[in-house]
Amino acid sequence: MTAAMHCLRTWRHYLLGSKFVVRTDNIAMSYFQTQKKLSPKQARWQGFLAKFDFVMEYKPGRTNVMADALSRRVELAAISRLESPLLGRIKEGLQHDAKARILLELAHEGKSRQFWCEDDLVYTKGRRVYVPLYDNLRREILWECHDSKVTKRMKKWADKKRRHVEYSVGDLVLVKLHNILRHKDVHKGLTRRYEGPFQVL
């Protein structure tokens, strides 16, 4: 229901005054307008929906092929591509790995649905590149993606739910009051978390 409300708010100026159909694969949502007991949030939504002239229809997900295709993850085609030495090594490894050569042949002949060939690389579901067992290539990629210093630094900031921000003179900032919250005689619920705004000098 949240997605439908978001769409109605976004396209309100197009939809007001016209009759339209909302198709959903959520059967409970199709009974929303005839529901007798409503939560406070649903009551607010009902008030907003009263402005529109629409019918809500249930359509099972397996029959709604068009919407299913539109909701798939989009594949972006880049205008310029970064040519990595890693891709060259993967292409070289595909020639040396026996299993990869078999997959490459099957993909070229069109006999495999799970693998396909593009730019001399073997792809599998989700456009993932098949990495051959050649010259510690898999280990290097795993190290690059999981164990390198850059990845650990990004993980550290993500775990803290913080982002690095540069401030300039005149910006307004809030100061976190974490030291006050440590005192036992002050209840956490009664103190403010931030003080400010203060101007950067």
37-43 average pLDDT score: 85
Which residue carries 């909302």 as its tokens? 22
Q: pLDDT tier at 192 (50, 70, 90 boundaries)?
A: confident
What pLDDT is recorded for position 60?
Answer: 81
What pLDDT is recorded for position 138?
Answer: 86
Percent of the chain with pLDDT over 90: 0
SS3 19: strand
Please tell me which residue, 26 or 67, carries the higher pLDDT value. 26
With a threshold of 0.75, does the pTM exceed it? no
Q: Which residues pair with 55 in a beta bridge?
A: 21
33-58 average pLDDT score: 85
Q: pLDDT tier at 155 (50, 70, 90 boundaries)?
A: low
Q: Where are the domains of the chain?
A: 2-70, 86-140, 165-201
What pLDDT is recorded for position 87?
Answer: 83
Burial zone of 145 (CB within 10 Å; 0-12 exposed, 13-18 middle, 19+ buried): exposed
Q: What angle do CA 97, 103, 105 make, to 5 degrees?
A: 105
**Mean pLDDT, the chain, whole residue set:** 79
Instruction: Respond yes or no on whether the N-terminal peptide bond of residue 40 is cis (omega within 30° of 0).
Output: no
139-152 average pLDDT score: 74
User: Are 33 and 56 within 8 A, CB to CB?
Assistant: yes
| pLDDT over 60 at 146, yes or no | yes
Dist. CA 5–CA 133, nearest whole Å: 49
Structure confidence by residue, pLDDT tens digits, 160-178: 766 667 888 998 988 877 6
Q: pLDDT tier at 19 (50, 70, 90 boundaries)?
A: very high
Structure confidence by residue, pLDDT tens digits, 56-96: 888 887 777 776 666 665 555 555 555 667 888 888 888 88
User: Beta 172-176 vs 121-124: how paired, if at all?
Assistant: unpaired
